[in-house]
Structure 1
Amino acid sequence: MDTRLLGTTGHEVTEIGMGTWNVGSDWGDVSPAEGRAAIRAALDAGVTFLDTADVYGGGQSEELIADVVAEHEAFPIIATKAGRGLERHTADGYTRESLERFIDGSRDRLGVDALDLLQLHCPPTDVYYRPEVFEALESLVEAGKIDAYGASVARVEEGLKAIEYPGLETVQIIFNPFRQRPAELFLEEAARRNVGVIVRVPLASGLLADALDSESTFPENDHRNYNREGDAFDVGETFAGVPFERGLEAVDALRPAVPDDWTMAQFTLRWILDHDAVSTVIPGSTNPDHVRQNVDASSLSPLNPTQRQLVDDVYEDYIRDEVHHRW
């Protein structure tokens, strides 16, 4: 699999990484055995970048990664996140003391002296206007507890503000054929500043995997059930913010662009990778076959102009009015 530089971290990471939100929580019941099998499949396929967070299953995702990495004798870059574990998720909670506490917990669960990459976990917008938060992260680098830091952002504006801090090395952001706004300015600015870009929610919670239809149902503990209106967290994390039925219509319109021997997920991942500013994409799956298929997207040819135009047409006709102004 091809690799790309992750900003100025010095790490080359595979174009397709793995997100592990769904092996921890919020995607229905996933057993530890299923989670381990999915992570193992990613490492077997050559993936060298894993993304997690301290709140995924109350630390379960980090623990599963540590178990599989140890038995696999692999050395992936592991990125985790901190901040969502605050009792009250406010900007005032993002202190050096709280961040250090979260970091120490992740270090313990992952079994490492220093975290490869620590990302602020979609903090309140005000955090990006508090230099002391980023000074705290710098001090934790100096203390040897983290090697690098970045931010996972909810909105393009937050990403643009985050990359103004010279020590920040990565931004994680939602970007896919249903969330195209980052391509207008953010990707260009990130590339200009040599900031690594990690793309999350690439498959729009399964919509862009063409895995859902109007009859699909979801367990009570699946965010695609309980967060469709943003009742638990930002609605942009669920189906990329696209109303479910509208998303199904858009997928139908997009299907003619997908080659017969590609999956819709591969087509989507290839569209993302065709943007050079992207460092790595982190689809999540608990199905080892799907993990391997996602990895194969790295070896596919770039989309042709006709395919790219159809993606843009579908976005304009079905999606833009729903999401573009919001994130």
Structure 2
Amino acid sequence: MQEWTPTRRQVMLGSAAAALPLGAQAAADGPATRPAPDDLITRVVPATGERLPAIGLGTFQTFDTLSDRGRERIREVARRHWRAGGRVFDVSPLYGRSETNLGDFATELRINDRMFLANKVWSTGDHLWDDSHAAESLRRSARRLSRDRPIDLMQCHSLTNVDVVVPLLHAWKKEKRVRLIGVTHHDPVYYDVLADWVSRAELDFVQVHYSIHTRAAERRVLPAARAGGTAVLVNMPLEKARLHRIVEGRPLPGFTAGLGIETWSQFFLKWVISHPDVTCAIPATSNPDHLAENVAAMRGPLPDQDTRERMVRHMETIPGFDRLAAMPWYPGKSYAGLVSRSQAALRARSPWWPS
């Protein structure tokens, strides 16, 4: 891994932001929305100087539920995330009921316009350069999320229609429809393209899949973000429960005890956020207890470079680690929402399905 040195822009903004509040934090009215503790690990967003907690909350599949019981669980996840000092929530129109559910919970907690909301647009149009579909997606997202002010971060989801969407995002930012803009991808096959967009598109954020197992972002994406003063959101830091499946029943290694690591979630997440180019990791969960483990990673010491390398070497001794990418997402779990329902319906109709 290359040694990290801050850019001049990062040094200046980091110094200016030292006294700033957390990005979306404001005075609270009740126990569900009390101010965040001041001992959180936070990172500066270079484009604005605001600080964000290093652990956010993703919503892919986990927040796509229709049942009352499922909604109650993820309502508690959202509540605990905010109470623990979490401020970053990442969502997408692609995630079924996730936008609607998060919007409902944010309204109940009275945090709609105080959380740092990262959303996405996945859009083409009726013809090339037609932005009507994207514009409707933005309006629909604002309605679902009961958002009265501009969405904090709008991202081109998985580089879809990127040649059109990135200029459109810049237009939305200029028009104050959104505050910040970025691009995302989760598949390392596309990382060279992702890094090229980070290098040339004057983006505020890039979102990328990065974990103790999937470290390909270190080659080009993270250096490109560092060079351009681009903030980094990390998706799949827990590999969608696959890392936990591999270490199930195994004790933590003793050499991380001094870092306050008490769970495997802390082990994996502290490894990710200890990279100096990472702004915020956004693990997803529908389990309130797992949420508590995740947010605990944004307190206490972080591993240094030697310890990070030792953590990787330890994982490489665990059977199955080298085959993690072939495992299905969320092993042993199921999410009965709009996405899984639509997937099952198409699978029943189609004579071919990817293996």
Q: Common fold, TM-score beyond 0.5?
A: yes
1:6 aligns with 2:71: no
Give 1:277-288 correspondences, 5 Å limit: 277-288=277-288
The match for 1:172 is 207
Say if 2:110 is the partner of 1:70.
Answer: no
Aligned to 1:61: 98
Would you say the 8 A contact 2:238–2:283 is kept in 1?
A: yes
Structure 2 distance, partners of 1:158, 1:197, is 16
- 1:52 aligns with 91
The alpha-carbon distance between structure 1 residues 87 and 25, as it changes in their structure 2 partners (threshold 3 A), is farther
Shift of 1:181: 1.1
Residues in 2 aligned to 1:257 and 1:180: alpha-carbon distance in whole angstroms: 23
SS in structure 2 of the partner of residue 4 of structure 1 = strand
Measured in 2, the distance between the counterparts of 1:152 and 1:265 equals 23
Quote the Cα distance in structure 2 between the aligned partners of 1:80 and 1:39: 16
In structure 2, the partner of 1:195 is 230
Does 1:101 find its partner at 2:136?
yes
TM-superposed CA distance for 1:83, in Å, is: 0.5
1:229-275 Cα distance to aligned partner (Å, 9 max, x none): xxxxxxxxxxxxxxxxxxx3x87899536746621111000100110
- Provide the identity percentage: 22
Quote the Cα distance in structure 2 between the aligned partners of 1:266 and 1:67: 29
From the superposition, tell whether residues 274 and 307 of structure 1 become closer, same or farther in structure 2 (CA, over 3 Å).
closer
Q: Which residue does the alignment assign to 1:224? A: none
Partner of 2:54: 15
Q: Does 1:309 align with 2:310?
A: yes
Whether the aligned pair in 2 keeps the contact of 1:95 and 1:136 (CA below 8 Å) is no
* CA deviations over 1:51-105 (Å, ceiling 9, x no partner): 0111212xx2222222222232331101111216x699xxx77742221111111
Verify the 8 A CA contact 1:270 1:302 in the aligned structure 2. yes
State the alpha-carbon separation in 1 of the partners of residues 152 and 238 from structure 2.
25
The structure 2 residue matched to 1:135, chosen from 164, 167, 179, is 167
Report the RMSD for the aligned CA atoms in angstroms: 3.1
CA contact (8 A) 1:254 1:310 kept: no
Partners of 1:257 and 1:186 in 2: CA distance: 32
**TM-score after normalising by structure 1:** 0.74
Equivalences for residues 119-268 of structure 1 within 5 A: 119-124=155-160, 127-128=161-162, 130=163, 132-153=164-185, 154=187, 155-208=190-243, 210=244, 212=245, 248=246, 255-256=252-253, 259=256, 262-268=262-268
Gaps of 5+ in 2: 1-39, 326-355
Cα separation, partners in 2 of 1:315 and 1:196, compared to 1, 3 Å = farther
| TM-score w.r.t. length of structure 2 | 0.68
Against the structure 1 CA distance between its residues 290 and 105, is the aligned structure 2 distance closer, same or farther, given a 3 Å change threshold?
A: same
Quote the offset at 1:296 in angstroms. Answer: 1.1
- Equivalenced residue count is 275
**Structure 1 contact 96–137 (Cα < 8 Å) conserved:** no
Query: Do structure 1's residue 292 and structure 2's residue 292 form an aligned pair?
Result: yes
- Higher Rg: 2
1:6: how far off? Answer: 2.5
Q: Note the residue ranges of structure 1 that are not aligned, 5 or more in a row.
A: 213-247
1:292 shift after superposition? 1.7
Q: Is 1:81 aligned to 2:158, yes or no?
A: no
Tell me the distance in 2 between the aligned counterparts of 1:97 and 1:181. 35
Q: Shift of residue 13 of structure 1? A: 1.0
Which structure has more relative contact order (CA 8 Å, sep 6+)? It is 1
Q: Secondary structure at the match of 1:152?
A: strand
Report which stretch shifted further, 314-323 or 287-296: 314-323
Alpha-carbon separation, structure 1, partners of 2:286 and 2:72: 10
Distance of 1:205 and 1:257 partners within structure 2: 25
